Amino acid sequence: MTDWTRRKLLTRSLALGCSAAASPLITPVTLASAPWDNRLVVIILRGAMDGLDVVQPYGDPALAAARATLQTGEKAGALDLDGFYALHPALAPLMPLWKASELGFVHAVSTPYRDKRSHFDGQDLLEAGTPQLGAATGRDGWLNRMLQTVPGMRADLAYAIGHENMLLLDGAAPVANWSPDVRLSLSPQGRRLAELVLHDDPAFADAFAEAAMLLDSGDGGMQAIPGDAGMDMDGLARNGTLGIRKVAAFAGEKLRGDSRIAAFSVGGWDTHRGQGAALPRALRQLSDALLVLRGALGDTWGKTAVVAMTEFGRTVRENGTRGTDHGTGGAMLLAGGAIRGGRVYGDWPGLRHEDLYNGRDLMPTRDVRAYAGWMMRGLFGLDTGTLENTVFPGMELGASPRLIL
């Protein structure tokens, strides 16, 4: 039996003697320690974010023609970024980050995934970081493979709890998986019974000892969500984002200490219908996550890079229900004091019909993995051979976009 299987079984066994409070969270936070000082946060945007609406290329005349009811550009309240791109108004609270060069974007990117447009396969491929899915490529995630290349890796915790398992950090490298708003308690009788039952199995006994230490530390709770930390926090949404704020605050609290890697997800990006109402809700969650994360990190924000990525983009033309369907090329968001922000990266392919992928989607001009690879090279000093052969097997990094300061 593998350690991972043992730990899952231990989690289920502990549930017999533990009580968990109802949690508003929909995602766990996964963290890992590392022997470097910079921090990396990876946010998976589940549901296929429409990059053309989030970072609007309003300088391309074909955009307005393709989106008759999905109003874009400054007339619709979007915020000009550089004369060609404008930011969706729901992300207005992040404009101070843009002006401070702590926020940036990448356009016209994708994974190698094409044509089938399944959320499940697309997300698996995004988190696996491989050219394709299948037994031959394994089932570990690219962020875990990166950790495997670093000698002496250890996890702050080796105990997993929470219903969502992120493939991104699955693998042989030790990481901790924890939902920050779940509180556990174990009676002395229950603890003694577990110790007796698990005594003769070293793997179970070790895992239980780690879990018991976590319970003793009280780390299942949440510290107060930080307020102003050198930035106006009035832009936080008033309703509907408490769960993601707690996730971000927990991640920031850990990264301010020994942890160096954090990963979590934000849902709500599947905007087939009524995108004008649905997309702002998801963007408010993302905006709040970044603001709270920055506040929780304090001075550590200056050595942190955040990358938010999604499984694929959406169609250039809106559909008949004022939404957009599954597409190909999309956008990434970058944030943090360690990034070279204040710009939109990428080679713009154009939105004329002849420029589109299959006549319907934004044409990808670069692999999303290349930008993630260059971030890790800049933050952690990994060599290109390791990134191209181990972390992202079969990928060519290409020229450096100089993302990291």
- The answer to whether residue 405 scores a pLDDT higher than 60 is yes
pLDDT: is 40 or 165 the higher one? 40
Q: Using the structure block, give the residue that is written with the tokens 């100089």.
A: 402
pLDDT: is 201 or 309 the higher one? 309
Residues whose CB is less than 8 angstroms from the CB of residue 403 and which lie 6 or more positions away in sequence, other chains included: 104, 305, 334, 339, 340, 345, 371, 374, 375, 378
- The answer to whether residue 76 scores a pLDDT higher than 50 is yes
The pLDDT, as a whole number, for residue 157 is 32
The pLDDT, as a whole number, for residue 392 is 96
User: What is the set of domains in the chain, with CATH numbers?
Assistant: 27-183+235-391 (3.40.720)
Pairing of strands 86-87, 176-178: unpaired
The pLDDT, as a whole number, for residue 220 is 42
Residues whose CB is less than 8 angstroms from the CB of residue 101 and which lie 6 or more positions away in sequence, other chains included: 339, 340, 341, 342
The pLDDT, as a whole number, for residue 193 is 64
* pLDDT level of residue 72 (50, 70, 90 thresholds): confident
Residue 236 near residue 245, CB atoms below 8 Å:
yes
Q: Which two tokens stand for residue 27?
A: 């995602």
pTM of the entire predicted model: 0.81
Question: How far apart, in whole angstroms, are the C-alpha atoms of residue 184 and residue 159?
Answer: 13
DSSP one-letter string for 46-80: TT---HHHHEE-TTSHHHHHH-SSS--SGGGTPEE
Q: Which residue type, as a one-letter code, is found at position 161?
A: I
- The answer to whether residue 110 scores a pLDDT higher than 90 is yes
- The answer to whether residue 307 scores a pLDDT higher than 90 is yes
Question: How far apart, in whole angstroms, are the C-alpha atoms of residue 382 and residue 370?
Answer: 13
- The answer to whether residue 23 scores a pLDDT higher than 80 is no
The pLDDT, as a whole number, for residue 22 is 27
The pLDDT, as a whole number, for residue 225 is 57
- The answer to whether residue 57 scores a pLDDT higher than 70 is yes
Residue 17 near residue 198, CB atoms below 8 Å:
no
Region 322-335 average pLDDT: 97
The pLDDT, as a whole number, for residue 202 is 47
pLDDT: is 160 or 11 the higher one? 11
The pLDDT, as a whole number, for residue 112 is 94
Region 266-295 average pLDDT: 95
Residue 95 near residue 88, CB atoms below 8 Å:
no
Question: How far apart, in whole angstroms, are the C-alpha atoms of residue 387 and residue 396?
Answer: 9
Residue 147 near residue 170, CB atoms below 8 Å:
no
- The answer to whether residue 391 scores a pLDDT higher than 90 is yes
Region 375-396 average pLDDT: 95
The share of the chain scoring above pLDDT 70, in percent, equals 72
Region 149-174 average pLDDT: 63
- The answer to whether residue 231 scores a pLDDT higher than 50 is no
Mean pLDDT over the full length of the chain? 81
- The answer to whether residue 229 scores a pLDDT higher than 70 is no
Residue 298 near residue 337, CB atoms below 8 Å:
no
Region 278-300 average pLDDT: 96
Which residues make beta-bridge pairs with 339? 404
Q: How many other CB atoms are found less than 10 A from the CB of residue 132?
A: 12
Angle between helices 3-14 and 188-198 (to 10 degrees): 150
Q: Which two tokens stand for residue 202?
A: 């070293």
Pairing of strands 55-56, 86-87: antiparallel
- The answer to whether residue 241 scores a pLDDT higher than 80 is no
* pLDDT level of residue 29 (50, 70, 90 thresholds): confident
The share of the chain scoring above pLDDT 90, in percent, equals 55
Q: How many other CB atoms are found less than 10 A from the CB of residue 257?
A: 11
Region 227-244 average pLDDT: 59
* pLDDT level of residue 53 (50, 70, 90 thresholds): very high
- CA–centroid distance for 248 within its chain: 11
* pLDDT level of residue 64 (50, 70, 90 thresholds): very high
- The answer to whether residue 28 scores a pLDDT higher than 70 is no
